[in-house]
Structure 1
Amino acid sequence: MTSSSAPSRKALSKIACNRLQKELAEWQLNPPSGFKHRVTDNLQKWVIDVIGAPGTLYANETYQLQVEFPEHYPMEAPQVIFVPPAPMHPHIYSNGHICLDILYDSWSPAMTVSSICISILSMLSSATVKQRPADNDRYVKNCHGRSPKETRWWFHDDKV
């Protein structure tokens, strides 16, 4: 991969490496229901299959999350996006960006990949309609490949 084809990332700190190794070991022993970690040799970037919960609009549908960890994880939130095609949901943009406060303003170092996944599945499970956010087209057009962490999110809807 050349530097022009991918954003450069700083290597994980020792603290981040230790934390992620611990989380991965816990995940392997006790994975959250409805999720499957795709094993790779890259500790800094996880790919996770999300399976829609029974009895919801997304029952038995499978989507992929990509979780990229910053140098100073867990003091800084990971970048979490759905790999397109992203689920149709009022808080998930067609480019995979997720409007969920714990991924940004409400992040806490006490959170884990498992707790993030459970929150995302809960968000999916509570949806009453499959639709994109009202501003999807404008947002995606203006995003130009930027990280969702560069967006100034407005968290105003706690219904879904």
Structure 2
Amino acid sequence: MAVSTRRLQKELTEITTAGTPCGITLLKADDFQTWFLTLEVLGESLYQGEVFALMFRFDSQYPISSPAVQFVNDETYQPPIHPHVYSNGHICASILGSEWSPVLSVIAVCITLQSMLASCKDKTRPPDNDRYVAHAPDNPKKTRFVYHDDEV
């Protein structure tokens, strides 16, 4: 059994037995390639009452390599309007790229993104949203984001 499969099996077992933190719900995890979870910011924030969905895609190198994580953009869910979230759902967050660590888990990523949304002061898209979305790859991991000090 591949390391990625063992790790994802362990994470899924923890999620299904211990549950998820408040505001995070497992929608679908039928295999060890793609999982969907919902994310809601609790307490007072610009996103109060809004629910978002995240898609996690795992390759055979997980957890050594980060999962490809993006907000779902379909008829049910829309990505949040946030300075680090593109309208196609791609997320510019260093923990999904250069700051990824194998000790991070699916739930840790969800909590970090929940915190990123909770601390947002201005609902705006990234300044280069239209240009990025027009040329973005399907997989956000194929993008080389430039991270700034104020980023998550």
TM-score when normalising by structure 1: 0.87
Q: Which residue of the other structure, out of 76, 82, 95, is the alignment partner of 1:89?
A: 82
Structure 1 segments (4+ residues) deviating >3 Å: none
Alpha-carbon distance in structure 2 between the residues aligned to 1:67 and 1:73: 11
Question: 2:2–2:60: 8 Å Cα contact kept in structure 1?
Answer: no
Aligned twin of 1:17: 5
Post-superposition Cα deviations, 1:63-87, rounded to whole Å, max 9, x if no partner, equal 1100011111101100000011210
Does 2:65 align with 1:76? yes
In the alignment, structure 1 segments of 5+ residues that lack a partner are 1-12
What is the CA RMSD across the aligned residues, in angstroms?
1.4
Higher-Rg member (1/2): 1
What displacement does 1:30 show? 3.3
Count of residue pairs brought into register by the alignment: 147
The correspondence for 2:91, drawn from 98, 119, 128, is 98
Q: Distance in 2 between matches of 1:39 and 1:69?
A: 14
Post-superposition offset of 1:157: 4.5
Pair 1:48-2:37 in alignment: yes
Instruction: Assess if the C-alpha contact under 8 Å between 1:67 and 1:81 holds in 2.
Output: yes
Aligned-partner Cα distance in 2 for 1:147–1:157 = 24
One-letter code of the match for 2:13? A
Unaligned 5+ runs, structure 2: none
Q: Distance in 2 between matches of 1:124 and 1:22?
A: 27
Paired position in structure 2 for 1:117: 110
1:148 and 1:106 map into 2 onto residues whose CA distance is 15
TM normalised by structure 2 equals 0.91
